[in-house]
Amino acid sequence: MNIVVLVKQVPDTGAERTLSSTDHTLDRENVDLVLDEIDARAAEEALRLKETVDAHITVVSMGPDSALEAIRKVLAMGADRGIHVCDDRLRGADVPTTAKVLAAAVRTVGDVDLVLAGDASTDGQASAVPAVVADVLGRPQVTHVRQLDVDQGRVRAERQTGSGEVTLDAPLPALVSVTEKINEPRYPSFKGIMAAKKKPVETVDLDDLFPDTARFLATRTRVLDAVPRPPRAAGTRITDDGSAGRHLAAYLIAQKLL
């Protein structure tokens, strides 16, 4: 089985989040950067599959030079090789651009049976990239998974919803995104850390992935301005002395909500 795991390096969740004053992207220069925890769980699920079937795991990450650290950590956990998409022109990439780049990187791997990813990054939290990657690749998507089984050329997964549990089934090749409930990721051993230094990591840029880079970049969006969220204003308290209904209706009419 040929498995690809999509991972991302993100600012530590305990760090203060600020935006760059130049391009309004998340400032990554003055914070500690780590492998996104949800992506570590996706990697762990790939490694658990590798323990039961003959599998080869490729780690794919898009990001600056520092993203190599995230790839190396997954290699230290037990993955086999890495692909690092590194290009300054991708700074602040939106969801469609990110998904198209990751899909292009997956295609370079060859016959991929399963793509695994976290369901949402802790920095962007769009929770859309895995689904768009699956759409670009033309593969079934099984998203927000908390339990996964792969057998006889199919994936079978459980998803928790607000109204209960849902069981999903799809043929391979497919893409699966996982939630924080799927597993507890392992810690890299010293032996694994040393072995990771010798595992191959290929660095590619946009010109390696797309025949017409200028045309590809022309379709991306850019943030032109960003302002801090205004502080929450104090609400209006209404004491119900028999007239609360009228006060509430007047408020909704004034706000054009009624």
pLDDT tens for residues 111-122?
Answer: 999 999 999 888
Is residue 24 pLDDT above 60, yes or no? no
- Bigger pLDDT: 21 or 24? 21
Banded model confidence at residue 20, pLDDT cuts 50, 70, 90: low
- Single out the residue of 53, 51, 44, 63 nearest to residue 5, CA to CA: 44
For the segment 27-42, the average pLDDT, to the nearest whole number, is 85
Digit-coded pLDDT (tens) for 215-225: 888 887 777 77
Instruction: Please return the burial class of 147, using the count of CB atoms within 10 Å of its CB with bins 0-12, 13-18 and 19+.
Output: middle
Q: What is the pTM of this model?
A: 0.83
Instruction: Report the C-alpha gap between 258 and 256 in whole angstroms.
Output: 6
Banded model confidence at residue 25, pLDDT cuts 50, 70, 90: low
Give the percent of the chain with pLDDT over 70.
93
CATH number of the domain where residue 164 is located: 3.40.50.620
Instruction: Report the C-alpha gap between 101 and 95 in whole angstroms.
Output: 10
Hey, which of 12-21, 27-36, 47-56 has the most confident mean pLDDT?
47-56
pLDDT of residue 21: 64
Contact assessment for residue 39 and residue 4, using Cβ atoms and an 8 Å cutoff: no
Kindly state whether residue 57 falls inside one of the protein's structural domains: yes
Is residue 183 pLDDT above 60, yes or no? yes
Banded model confidence at residue 16, pLDDT cuts 50, 70, 90: low
Six-digit token pair at 5?
A: 């795991």
152: which residues sit within 8 A by CB, 6+ positions away?
A: none
Kindly state whether residue 233 falls inside one of the protein's structural domains: no
Find tokens 């769009």 and name the residue: 126
Banded model confidence at residue 199, pLDDT cuts 50, 70, 90: very high
Q: Is the peptide bond prior to 140 cis by the omega test (within 30 degrees of 0)?
A: no
Kindly state whether residue 42 falls inside one of the protein's structural domains: yes
Digit-coded pLDDT (tens) for 90-139: 988 889 999 999 999 999 998 999 999 999 888 777 889 999 999 999 99
Instruction: Report the C-alpha gap between 116 and 247 in whole angstroms.
Output: 52
Instruction: Report the C-alpha gap between 73 and 62 in whole angstroms.
Output: 15
Kindly state whether residue 239 falls inside one of the protein's structural domains: no
Kindly state whether residue 245 falls inside one of the protein's structural domains: no
Instruction: Please return the burial class of 212, using the count of CB atoms within 10 Å of its CB with bins 0-12, 13-18 and 19+.
Output: exposed
Kindly state whether residue 101 falls inside one of the protein's structural domains: yes
Kindly state whether residue 177 falls inside one of the protein's structural domains: yes
Banded model confidence at residue 38, pLDDT cuts 50, 70, 90: very high
pLDDT of residue 30: 67
Domain count, the chain: 1
pLDDT of residue 150: 94
The residue range of the domain holding 137 is: 2-217
DSSP one-letter code for 163: T
Kindly state whether residue 248 falls inside one of the protein's structural domains: no
- Bigger pLDDT: 20 or 156? 156
Average pLDDT, the chain: 89
For the segment 179-205, the average pLDDT, to the nearest whole number, is 95
Backbone torsion region of residue 173, taken as left when φ is above 0, otherwise alpha when ψ lies between -120 and 50, otherwise beta: beta
